[in-house]
Amino acid sequence: MTATRRDQVRAATLEEIKAVARQQMAASGTADLSLRAVARSMGLTAPALYRYYPNRDALVTALIVDAFNALADHLEAAQAVATGNFGERFMAVIAAYRGWALAHPVDFQLIYGNPIIGYEAPREETVPAASRNLAILAELLAEGLAEGKVEQPRVPAWFVQHLETLRGPGRQSAPIEALYLSVVGWMPLHGILMLELFNHLQPVVGQTDAFFAHTMCHLYTQMGLNLSE
Amino acid sequence: MTATRRDQVRAATLEEIKAVARQQMAASGTADLSLRAVARSMGLTAPALYRYYPNRDALVTALIVDAFNALADHLEAAQAVATGNFGERFMAVIAAYRGWALAHPVDFQLIYGNPIIGYEAPREETVPAASRNLAILAELLAEGLAEGKVEQPRVPAWFVQHLETLRGPGRQSAPIEALYLSVVGWMPLHGILMLELFNHLQPVVGQTDAFFAHTMCHLYTQMGLNLSE
DNA sequence: TGTTTACAGTTTACGGCGTTAACAAACAAA
DNA sequence: TTTGTTTGTTAACGCCGTAAACTGTAAACA
């Protein structure tokens, strides 16, 4: 029942395995993750890891869930710290999103890239964590809407229906319009980041920093966000 | 000099290896590509393949170059066939882009996803092929600009400079404004497709077909394209 | 036409991988 | 102190990419 001595050690080992795996993937790429190498680097033999994770995919799943939550934590922290008017706060969170992706490319592509083989992470684990990210953007957009800094979008009827189920029956969060804008606004953001992470953006646009800042402001302004005041 | 008998057989074998590899990846995912399995499926032993490709990465590179060109060919064909006003023609090519991505998910993620390990395809091969795709969009947008169906965008000065080098010294292709719009418009398109291909879009938006059509029209209209007349 | 040469394929081998089975030591609970 | 559980080991299986050495066979040339 209470956390016994052995349970603590076990929990620490579970974490250490993930840490070493992350470190190894940062050095050699997501697909190179090798249980034997992880074990070796921990001074263990490979079969010992099977006491902690039933197989390699289970370890990857754990890493993915961690990555999702780390990103959402990072965004929440950025949102909490952000000051100034709506535009400044919104762009601060957008910048934090890109910042995390560039700082943790392996985790980001673990989440949003093709995560090793035909493997698919279990929905019940990843979808809620992924929703947190959208929820943060939606919350900010709700503030913008309330302040009149964001134009009311016209949400298609069929989409309203789905967004309501997405919002869940629980806590009364952002209005549909905010959720809608966060989803649509996610597309160019995600597109830029995926291209940048896989080095397809730099040869096309030259200065990726400037392109990101410019394009995001440009598109979001055209979507009806007042970012300047 | 002329294509001798043996050269023809060799060329056919090079193609067969790629075909079998594509087929195997379609069945088991990009990272599962196994030289031994390809050889087995061709009635050969694994080392025999080394007469044709110096190693596994070389084969993957060949597949990537093929995929780039297949996508560009597909877009050019769609453009050639497209009729109607500017908006209809433009959206037809956009739809063709998505159509190809969904019909050839493995090739698309070979191009734009993380293509196995820390491996990077040689720039001198992939960049020109990738540029073809943008060039087709830019050409269409140039027509739209000429017809007054596309608003003149304000291109940032630093970006003008880079876009001119990108356009190359060769043939006088689309104007800078068209190139600019094609690059910016590529971001949401790519974002949607990457999310859809990795199954992150469906849980969020429900009907991916409707979402794609709606969002693309929405964003491009806001970017200043007149799609309706 | 007969000889040489280049090529396409083989077998064998090395070291690495994920994973399973059988077993030993350390430890917790009785 | 004994018993049972947990954590680790070694050995083994069948994959993988790749290299070396070797063998026929088809093309090129005398």
Give pLDDT, residue B131: 83
> CA of A33 vs C1' of C27, distance in Å?
32
The domain at B56-222 falls in which architecture? Orthogonal Bundle (1.10)
Q: Does A114 touch chain B (CB under 8 A)?
A: yes
Under a CB-based contact definition with an 8 Å cutoff, are residues B64 and B129 in contact?
A: no
Residue ranges covered by each domain of chain A = 1-53, 60-222
Distance of CA A98 to the CA centre of its chain: 10
Q: What is the pLDDT of residues B86-126, one digit of tens each?
A: 999 999 999 999 999 999 999 998 888 865 444 566 667 77
| B194 contacts A190? CB cut-off 8 A | yes
Residue A168 has pLDDT above 80, yes or no: no
Phi-psi group of A207: left, alpha or beta (phi > 0 → left; psi -120 to 50 → alpha; rest → beta): beta
Residues of B in Cβ contact (< 8 Å) with A30: 114
pLDDT tens-place string over residues A58-106 = 999 999 999 999 999 999 999 999 999 999 999 999 999 999 999 999 9
Chains A–B, number of C-beta pairs less than 8 Å apart: 143
pLDDT of residue A169: 58
Query: Is A127 within 8 Å of chain B by CB?
Result: yes
Helices (H), chain A: 5-28, 35-41, 56-81, 86-103, 105-112, 123-147, 157-167, 176-197, 202-205, 208-222
Half-sphere exposure of A40 (CA within 13 A, CB side): 6
Residues of B in contact with A32 (CB under 8 A): 117-118
B40 touches chain A (CB under 8 A): no
At A121-136, the pLDDT tens digits run 667 777 777 788 999 9
pLDDT value, residue A162: 93
Specify the CATH number of the domain B1-53: 1.10.10
pLDDT at B1: 47
Task: Residue window 58-77, chain A: list those with CB within 8 Å of chain B.
Answer: none
Closest CA to A74 of A64, A63, A66, A83: A66
**A210–B123: do the CB atoms touch at under 8 Å?**
no
Predicted local confidence at residue B28, as pLDDT: 86
Q: Do domains B1-53 and B56-222 have the same CATH topology?
A: no
Quick one: closest CA in A to B129, which residue?
A200
Q: Residues of B with CB below 8 A from A130's CB?
A: 200, 203-204
Cα–Cα distance between B199 and A58 in angstroms, integer? 19
Q: Nearest CB to A190: which of B113, B191, B205?
A: B191
- Dihedral in degrees, nearest 10, Cα atoms B125, B130, B131, B137: 160
Question: How much of chain A, in percent, has pLDDT values that exceed 90?
Answer: 74
Interface contact B29-A214, CB threshold 8 A: no
Looking across all nucleic acid strands, the nucleotide with the smallest C1' to CA distance from residue A36 is C17
- Per-residue model confidence as pLDDT tens digits over B145-196: 999 999 999 999 999 999 998 876 555 678 999 999 999 999 999 999 999 9
Class of domain A60-222: mainly alpha
- Chain B contact present for A183, CB below 8 A: yes
* Alpha carbon of A227: minimum distance to chain B alpha carbons (Å): 16
Answer whether A67's CB lies under 8 Å from A107's CB. Answer: yes
DSSP A88: H
Dihedral (C-alpha) A196, B180, B132, A101: value to the nearest 10 degrees? 10
Q: For residues A174 and A135, is the Cβ–Cβ distance under 8 A?
A: yes
Residue B63: is it exposed, middle or buried by C-beta count within 10 angstroms (0-12/13-18/19+)?
A: buried
Mutate to test the interface with A, among B204, B207, B209, B216 (most CBs of A within 10 A): B204
Q: How far is B123 from chain A (nearest CA, A)?
A: 9
Which DSSP symbol is given to A225? B
| Residue A199, helix vs strand vs coil | coil
